Structure 1
Amino acid sequence: MSRKISDIILIGPISTGKSTLGKLLAQKLGIPQCSMDDVRLNYYKEINYDEALAKQIREKEGFPGIYRYWKPFEAYAVERVLSEYSNCVIDFGAGHSVYEDDELFRWVQQILDPYINVVLILPSPDLEESIQILNERNGGIVSNGFDLNEYFVKHHSNYDLAKFVVYTKSKSPEEARDEILKIVKL
């Protein structure tokens, strides 16, 4: 029987409130919070992330290009952050739970398998409404025809990795935090 890990991992699109909820959960539980966006570059650099190349790719190909460049680094960062942080709340960056490459997806899926509290945060069960709410929150993020909000909301990876889904529309951050605490297994 594999070991089950009860850390809380929050995943989901940009601007869903993962970091805010991570902070509130960590405070309520009296445990640390790790925001993947704060530590990811340290891990990327361990496997030769090239900031100059990333800048060139972004200038030439926009977000779609840099997004493709980031994917192997993001999967590696997931493995590293989970190997270094425990007994905490971890909020992933939006891309850390979305993979187009089947091999990278299976790797992250395998890494997350023992974690029983992987919570997908979305505004609404209605995907179009979720996209609309996120567009209102972050102004809509479109680069070279690539709509990030739509892409992250509709991509299968988040749903396949999540053990629970929490919808935040019409809830205060504290209400969403309390809902998460009712469903997770600590």
Structure 2
Amino acid sequence: MSRSTRIEAPWMVLVGPSGTGKTTLGRELAARTRRPFVDLDATADGYCAEAGWIIARLRERIAVVGRVAAEAEWEPARAHAVARAVAGHPDAVIALGAGHTSYTDHRHLVTVRTALKGRFVPAGVFEKLTGWSPFGTALTRGGALLTG
């Protein structure tokens, strides 16, 4: 398949622990599939602000109640950011930050799961769609590939 051919692969969401290469892999996948790339770590601030949270407020709350409690207070904003990014970028490859998939309040986890519902891709499907396999590095380093 030539690079000039538009691959009609589904859009994707990359999830994994910090440092597993979601951003690097996401940029490559977006380039190879000629889709936009969205890194939620770089764009979440606007979405979080819609839910009433900004980084300065998070820092203030950490100083007052501690990191664990402040992170729990911030969960609605993180879940909102995931739902908005997924809904707002239907044709993009999206890399979720590691903190956008871990929630102590089940309601926020449900919000994220609902936004991502039906977007898991079994190993090998992406390779069949594109002729290229990202699985060797992404999954063995702890990442996961999701798709619609």
Count matched residues: 125
Change (3 A) 1:51 1:25: closer
* d(CA) in 1 for partners of 2:147, 2:78: 26
Contact 1:6–1:117, Cα closer than 8 Å, also in 2? no
After superposition, what is the alpha-carbon deviation per residue over 1:60-90, rounded to whole angstroms, capped at 9, x for unaligned? 4443233223211010011101111022210
| Paired residue type of 1:167 | T
* d(CA) in 2 for partners of 1:37, 1:118: 25
TM-score using structure 2 length = 0.71
Q: Which runs of 5+ in 1 are unaligned?
A: 120-164, 170-175
For residue 57 of structure 1, report the CA deviation from its aligned partner: 1.6
Contact 2:61–2:70, Cα closer than 8 Å, also in 1? yes
- Correspondent of 2:141 among 168, 172, 177: 168
For residue 52 of structure 1, report the CA deviation from its aligned partner: 4.0
Contact 1:8–1:118, Cα closer than 8 Å, also in 2? no
After superposition, what is the alpha-carbon deviation per residue over 1:124-146, rounded to whole angstroms, capped at 9, x for unaligned? xxxxxxxxxxxxxxxxxxxxxxx
| Paired residue type of 2:30 | A
Contact 1:7–1:117, Cα closer than 8 Å, also in 2? no
- Correspondent of 1:59 among 56, 63, 66: 63
Determine which structure has the larger strand proportion and give its number.
Answer: 1
Task: Tell me which residue corresponds to 1:148.
Answer: none
Q: Which runs of 5+ in 2 are unaligned?
A: 1-8, 124-137
For residue 55 of structure 1, report the CA deviation from its aligned partner: 1.9
Change (3 A) 1:35 1:185: closer
| Paired residue type of 1:110 | T
Hey, which bits of structure 1, 4+ residues long, moved more than 4 A? none
Task: Tell me which residue corresponds to 2:135.
Answer: none
Change (3 A) 1:63 1:114: same
Task: Tell me which residue corresponds to 2:5.
Answer: none
| Paired residue type of 2:10 | S
* d(CA) in 1 for partners of 2:72, 2:43: 19
Identity over aligned pairs, percent: 26
Residue aligned with 1:116, SS: coil
* d(CA) in 2 for partners of 1:81, 1:6: 16
* d(CA) in 1 for partners of 2:122, 2:73: 25
- Correspondent of 2:16 among 3, 12, 16: 12
Q: What RMSD over aligned residues (CA atoms) do the two structures have, in Å? A: 2.8
Q: Which moved more, 1:100-109 or 1:18-27?
A: 100-109
